Amino acid sequence: MLLHRHRAQHAVKGLLKRNIETCVFLKFWHTTQVTSKQVLSYVSRAARLNQFYVSEHAFESHNATFFDIKCGLTTATRAVYQPETDRWRIEGGCDDDGAALTVIVKFERNLIIVVTAF
56 touching other proteins, by CB under 8 A: yes
Structural contact between residues 67 and 97, judged by C-beta atoms closer than 8 angstroms: no
| Pairing mode, strands 100-108 and 111-117 | antiparallel
The smaller minimum CB distance to other proteins, of residues 9 and 19, is found at: 19
Q: In residues, how long is the chain?
A: 118
Q: Would you give the DSSP letter of residue 89?
A: E
Closest CA to 105 of 24, 32, 76: 76
Q: Is 28 an interacting residue with respect to other proteins (CB under 8 A)?
A: no
**Smaller CB separation from other proteins, 1 or 56:** 56
- Residue 57 found at the interface with other proteins (CB under 8 A): yes
Residues of the shown chain interacting with other proteins in the complex, contacts defined by CB under 8 A: 50-57, 59-60, 63, 65-68, 96, 106, 108, 111, 113
